[in-house]
Amino acid sequence: MILSKALSNKNILLFSPQFFGYGLEVASKMREKGARVDYFDERPGNDFWTKAIIRVNKSLLTRKIENYYIEIIKKLVDDHYDFVVFLNPEAISRNNLELLKKSQPKAIFIMYMWDSLRNKKYTIDILPFFDRKFSFDKGDCANEGYGLYFRPLFFLDSYRNVDNIPHKMAIDLFFVGTLHSDRYELLMALRKAGEKLGKKIEFYMFFQSKVLFYLHKALNRSFRKAKQNDFKFLPLPKDKLIEKLSSSKVILDIQHPSQKGLTMRTIEMIGARKKLLTTNQEIKHYDFYNPKNIYCLDRAKIELEPHFFETPYVDLEASLYHKYSIEGWLEDLFCATH
């Protein structure tokens, strides 16, 4: 009711990277709550090289990015928005944002980051253009110069009560995710530890391209014996992912070692009511943490606790399931008085 009142008949301009469809899901929920939403990709392209260059040296794509946003702004000349929302921006420049703000003088500009700013160096330059700024990273929010408010991620409606879907628990430990940093090395150590305990382990190890796989194989010693057939180069479809989650006792999360904010996968397991094995020790400081549901791994010394796989998930308070839902997340972005 709160969100519907805030969004009913509002015009929203949304920019988000194409990250496993989350931008589209956010737009869909906004529309469900009565808003009219125009959605654009935050980046001018989603090929491997465009994404890589934006992160390493965005200036090489200055003209492409400028032209992309200028064309969008021209299309919006007769449109007037109540809110302009950017999810995890990294491509747009200060000049583009200035033009966009001039074209939408009455709009409230909102930003949400699901990456740490240390990994998004260009984003710091555009912080002053936003009226409301949120991040999943407590460290970034502690920096008063950034003006960020702390807000963890959310789970989509499709993850609600995954544990109630009738499936045989055929998998003891399941992981799905892209490979970066030390993930592969930790996954191999966990597979070995799990098999010693007689546990059924299943990993869906994803690379966005075969180029990335061969770069890792050439540069990362732990990949030397890795075989291409062990990896996937297409994301696991959501219906298949839900099926795997419902068939699994415990879900594995390995965050980037330089990241302290909780991953999307971690929050999704709240909605799914699934037990979690994670390398992120910061989770112990969150309101939903329960050692009966969450087991924290030591990256330096991988050990599994057999008892954790046998005990049932313990339900949380109802208010926590709402807080971490996509609706609860949107309420904070649009209704909070920050």
Domain ranges in the chain are 2-151, 158-322
Model confidence at 131, pLDDT cuts 50, 70, 90, reads very high
Question: Span 123-133, mean pLDDT?
Answer: 95
CB 7 within 8 A of CB 83: no
Same fold, 2-151 and 158-322: yes
Question: What's the chain's average pLDDT?
Answer: 91
Rounded to whole angstroms, the Cα distance separating 51 from 135 reads 21
**Res. 55: pLDDT tops 80:** no
Q: Which of 173-182, 210-219, 259-268, 319-328 is least confident?
A: 210-219
Distance separating alpha carbons of residues 20 and 164, to the nearest angstrom: 24
Q: How far apart are CA 276 and CA 295, in angstroms?
A: 6
At residue 273, does pLDDT exceed 60? yes
Residue 338 in this model has a pLDDT that exceeds 60: no
The residue assigned the tokens 């910061």 is: 282
Residue 164 has pLDDT above 70, yes or no: no
Number of residues written out for the chain: 338
- In which band, very low, low, confident or very high, does the pLDDT at 167 lie, cut at 50, 70 and 90? low
Torsional sign, CA 282, 140, 48, 16? positive
The residue to which tokens 């959605």 are assigned:
39
Average pLDDT of the segment spanning 262-284: 96
Say whether pLDDT at 51 is over 80. Answer: no
pLDDT of residue 222: 76
pLDDT at 77 over 80: no
Over residues 108-129, the mean pLDDT reads 92
248 pLDDT higher than 80: yes
Residues paired with residue 195 on neighbouring β-strands, in sequence order: none
Q: Which CATH number fits domain 158-322: 1.10.3470, 2.20.25, 1.50.10, 3.40.50?
A: 3.40.50
H runs (alpha helix) in the chain: 2-7, 22-32, 48-57, 62-75, 94-103, 138-142, 183-196, 210-219, 238-246, 264-272, 306-310, 318-323, 326-335
Q: Say what the pLDDT of residue 211 is.
A: 84
CATH of 2-151, one of 3.30.830.10, 3.40.50.10280, 3.40.50.2000, 3.40.630.30: 3.40.50.2000
pLDDT over 60 at 58, yes or no: yes
